[in-house]
Protein backbone atom coordinates (compact mmCIF):
# COMPACT_ATOMS: atom_id res chain seq x y z
CA UNK A 1 0.00 0.00 0.00
CA UNK A 2 1.24 3.47 -0.87
CA UNK A 3 1.48 6.19 1.79
CA UNK A 4 -0.33 8.60 -0.55
CA UNK A 5 -3.97 8.38 -1.62
CA UNK A 6 -5.54 10.42 -4.42
CA UNK A 7 -9.26 10.83 -3.73
CA UNK A 8 -11.07 12.56 -6.56
CA UNK A 9 -14.46 13.12 -8.11
CA UNK A 10 -14.89 13.46 -11.88
CA UNK A 11 -18.08 13.82 -13.87
CA UNK A 12 -16.67 14.11 -17.40
CA UNK A 13 -13.11 12.81 -17.12
CA UNK A 14 -10.82 15.86 -16.75
CA UNK A 15 -10.19 15.36 -13.05
CA UNK A 16 -9.85 11.60 -13.56
CA UNK A 17 -7.16 12.13 -16.14
CA UNK A 18 -5.13 14.33 -13.79
CA UNK A 19 -5.71 11.97 -10.84
CA UNK A 20 -4.40 9.00 -12.81
CA UNK A 21 -1.40 10.95 -14.08
CA UNK A 22 -0.58 12.07 -10.53
CA UNK A 23 -0.96 8.53 -9.25
CA UNK A 24 1.78 7.42 -11.63
CA UNK A 25 4.08 10.25 -10.61
CA UNK A 26 3.52 9.81 -6.86
CA UNK A 27 3.12 6.01 -6.91
CA UNK A 28 -0.13 6.71 -5.06
CA UNK A 29 -3.28 4.68 -4.56
CA UNK A 30 -6.40 6.08 -6.23
CA UNK A 31 -9.90 6.43 -4.84
CA UNK A 32 -12.58 7.56 -7.31
CA UNK A 33 -15.55 9.08 -5.48
CA UNK A 34 -18.64 7.71 -7.21
CA UNK A 35 -22.17 9.06 -7.47
CA UNK A 36 -25.05 6.86 -6.43
CA UNK A 37 -27.31 8.70 -8.87
CA UNK A 38 -25.91 9.36 -12.39
CA UNK A 39 -25.40 13.00 -13.49
CA UNK A 40 -25.41 12.58 -17.24
CA UNK A 41 -26.66 15.17 -19.72
CA UNK A 42 -28.14 18.59 -19.28
CA UNK A 43 -30.27 17.57 -16.29
CA UNK A 44 -27.14 16.25 -14.58
CA UNK A 45 -25.30 19.50 -15.35
CA UNK A 46 -27.99 21.70 -13.82
CA UNK A 47 -28.44 19.45 -10.80
CA UNK A 48 -24.68 19.61 -10.23
CA UNK A 49 -24.68 23.42 -10.40
CA UNK A 50 -27.64 23.63 -8.04
CA UNK A 51 -26.05 21.25 -5.53
CA UNK A 52 -22.75 23.13 -5.60
CA UNK A 53 -24.47 26.47 -5.01
CA UNK A 54 -26.57 25.08 -2.16
CA UNK A 55 -23.74 23.17 -0.50
CA UNK A 56 -25.64 19.90 -0.90
CA UNK A 57 -24.04 16.70 0.39
CA UNK A 58 -24.53 14.39 -2.61
CA UNK A 59 -25.07 10.69 -2.03
CA UNK A 60 -21.87 8.74 -2.84
CA UNK A 61 -20.93 5.08 -3.01
CA UNK A 62 -19.15 4.11 0.25
CA UNK A 63 -15.38 4.43 -0.46
CA UNK A 64 -13.37 1.24 -0.79
CA UNK A 65 -10.14 2.82 0.55
CA UNK A 66 -9.43 3.96 4.11
CA UNK A 67 -8.15 7.58 4.06
CA UNK A 68 -6.99 7.37 7.70
CA UNK A 69 -4.33 4.81 6.69
CA UNK A 70 -2.54 7.29 4.42
CA UNK A 71 0.16 9.78 5.37
CA UNK A 72 -1.16 12.23 2.76
CA UNK A 73 -4.43 12.45 0.85
CA UNK A 74 -4.51 14.45 -2.40
CA UNK A 75 -8.05 15.72 -3.01
CA UNK A 76 -9.18 16.47 -6.57
CA UNK A 77 -12.44 18.06 -7.69
CA UNK A 78 -13.88 19.98 -10.63
CA UNK A 79 -15.03 23.56 -10.00
CA UNK A 80 -18.81 23.69 -10.08
CA UNK A 81 -20.40 27.16 -10.18
CA UNK A 82 -17.39 28.51 -8.33
CA UNK A 83 -17.60 25.84 -5.62
CA UNK A 84 -16.46 22.35 -4.65
CA UNK A 85 -18.39 19.53 -6.35
CA UNK A 86 -21.14 18.10 -4.17
CA UNK A 87 -19.74 14.52 -4.13
CA UNK A 88 -16.38 15.82 -2.85
CA UNK A 89 -18.25 17.89 -0.26
CA UNK A 90 -19.92 14.68 0.94
CA UNK A 91 -16.63 12.78 1.01
CA UNK A 92 -15.04 15.46 3.21
CA UNK A 93 -18.11 15.68 5.41
CA UNK A 94 -17.75 11.95 6.08
CA UNK A 95 -13.95 11.62 6.24
CA UNK A 96 -12.33 14.94 7.19
CA UNK A 97 -11.72 13.68 10.71
CA UNK A 98 -9.53 10.86 9.45
CA UNK A 99 -7.23 12.94 7.22
CA UNK A 100 -3.64 13.71 8.20
CA UNK A 101 -1.80 15.78 5.57
CA UNK A 102 -3.63 17.03 2.47
CA UNK A 103 -2.92 18.58 -0.95
CA UNK A 104 -5.55 19.90 -3.38
CA UNK A 105 -5.99 20.07 -7.12
CA UNK A 106 -8.96 21.19 -9.16
CA UNK A 107 -9.94 21.27 -12.81
CA UNK A 108 -11.93 24.12 -14.30
CA UNK A 109 -13.05 25.84 -17.46
CA UNK A 110 -11.14 28.90 -16.36
CA UNK A 111 -12.08 30.32 -12.97
CA UNK A 112 -13.01 29.46 -9.41
CA UNK A 113 -9.97 27.54 -8.17
CA UNK A 114 -9.02 29.88 -5.33
CA UNK A 115 -12.50 29.75 -3.81
CA UNK A 116 -12.53 25.96 -4.20
CA UNK A 117 -9.18 25.67 -2.39
CA UNK A 118 -10.56 27.77 0.46
CA UNK A 119 -13.60 25.50 0.67
CA UNK A 120 -11.46 22.35 0.60
CA UNK A 121 -9.39 23.76 3.49
CA UNK A 122 -12.50 24.57 5.48
CA UNK A 123 -14.16 21.21 4.76
CA UNK A 124 -11.04 19.16 5.50
CA UNK A 125 -9.98 21.28 8.46
CA UNK A 126 -6.43 21.23 7.03
CA UNK A 127 -4.09 23.64 5.27
CA UNK A 128 -2.78 22.03 2.07
CA UNK A 129 0.85 21.09 1.48
CA UNK A 130 0.34 22.29 -2.10
CA UNK A 131 -2.42 23.28 -4.51
CA UNK A 132 -2.73 23.01 -8.28
CA UNK A 133 -5.37 24.40 -10.68
CA UNK A 134 -5.68 23.05 -14.22
CA UNK A 135 -7.79 24.42 -17.04
CA UNK A 136 -9.68 22.13 -19.40
CA UNK A 137 -7.94 23.67 -22.41
CA UNK A 138 -4.48 22.82 -21.07
CA UNK A 139 -5.60 19.30 -20.18
CA UNK A 140 -7.09 18.76 -23.65
CA UNK A 141 -3.89 19.98 -25.29
CA UNK A 142 -1.75 17.82 -23.00
CA UNK A 143 0.00 20.90 -21.63
CA UNK A 144 -0.12 20.13 -17.94
CA UNK A 145 3.08 18.12 -17.30
CA UNK A 146 5.25 21.04 -16.02
CA UNK A 147 2.53 22.16 -13.60
CA UNK A 148 2.11 18.63 -12.25
CA UNK A 149 5.90 18.30 -11.93
CA UNK A 150 5.88 21.39 -9.70
CA UNK A 151 2.89 20.17 -7.70
CA UNK A 152 4.52 16.78 -7.14
CA UNK A 153 7.81 18.45 -6.13
CA UNK A 154 6.01 20.45 -3.49
CA UNK A 155 4.14 17.41 -2.20
CA UNK A 156 7.28 15.34 -1.97
CA UNK A 157 9.24 18.18 -0.37
CA UNK A 158 11.60 19.06 -3.21
CA UNK A 159 13.19 22.45 -3.51
CA UNK A 160 9.99 23.86 -5.00
CA UNK A 161 8.26 22.60 -1.85
CA UNK A 162 10.48 24.74 0.33
CA UNK A 163 9.70 27.76 -1.86
CA UNK A 164 5.98 27.07 -1.57
CA UNK A 165 6.23 26.84 2.20
CA UNK A 166 8.04 30.13 2.27
CA UNK A 167 5.93 32.01 -0.24
CA UNK A 168 2.67 30.15 -0.68
CA UNK A 169 3.21 29.58 -4.39
CA UNK A 170 0.38 27.91 -6.30
CA UNK A 171 0.73 25.92 -9.49
CA UNK A 172 -1.72 26.40 -12.33
CA UNK A 173 -2.28 26.37 -16.09
Ligand X SMILES: Cc1cc2nc3c(=O)[nH]c(=O)nc-3n(C[C@H](O)[C@H](O)[C@H](O)COP(=O)(O)O)c2cc1C
CB 79 within 8 A of CB 112: yes
Distance separating alpha carbons of residues 163 and 143, to the nearest angstrom = 23
CB count in 10 Å sphere of residue 41? 9
Q: Please say which residue, 67 or 112, places its beta carbon nearer to ligand X.
A: 112
Question: For every residue of 8-35, which 3-state class applies, written as one string?
Answer: ECCCCCHHHHHHHHHHHHHCCEEEECCE
13 binds ligand X (CB under 6 A): yes
Show the site string, 91-130: x = touches ligand X by CB under 6 A, - = not: ----------------xxxxxx------------------
15 binds ligand X (CB under 6 A): yes
Residue number, 161 or 170, with CB nearest to ligand X: 170
Contact with ligand X (CB under 6 A) among 22, 79, 152, 160:
79
**Which of these ranges, 44-52, 61-69, 124-132, 143-151, lies near ligand X under the rule CB under 6 A?**
44-52
Nearer residue to ligand X within complex by CB, 115 or 156? 115
Nearer to ligand X, 163 or 173 (CB): 173
* CA–CA distance, 130 with 141 (Å, rounded to integer): 24
Tell me the closest approach of the beta carbon of residue 31 to ligand X, in angstroms.
14
Q: How far is CA 161 from CA 60, 122, 123, 129, 157, in A?
A: 33, 22, 23, 8, 5
Taking the least distance from each CB to ligand X, the nearer of 7 and 164 is 7
Q: In a 10 Å sphere around its CB, with 0-12 CB exposed, 13-18 middle and 19+ buried, how is residue 166 labelled? A: exposed
Taking CB under 6 A as the binding criterion, the range among 8-16, 22-30, 58-66, 125-133 that sits at the site for ligand X is: 8-16
Query: Is 81 near ligand X (CB under 6 A)?
Result: yes
CB neighbourhood size of 119 (10 A): 22
Which residues contact ligand X (rule: CB under 6 A)? 10-16, 45, 48-49, 78-82, 107-112, 136
Amino acid sequence: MSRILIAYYSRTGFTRRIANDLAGRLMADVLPIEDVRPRRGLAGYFRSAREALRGTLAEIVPPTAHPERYHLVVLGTPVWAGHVSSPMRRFLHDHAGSLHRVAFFCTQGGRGAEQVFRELSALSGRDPEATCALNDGAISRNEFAPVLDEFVARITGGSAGLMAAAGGIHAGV
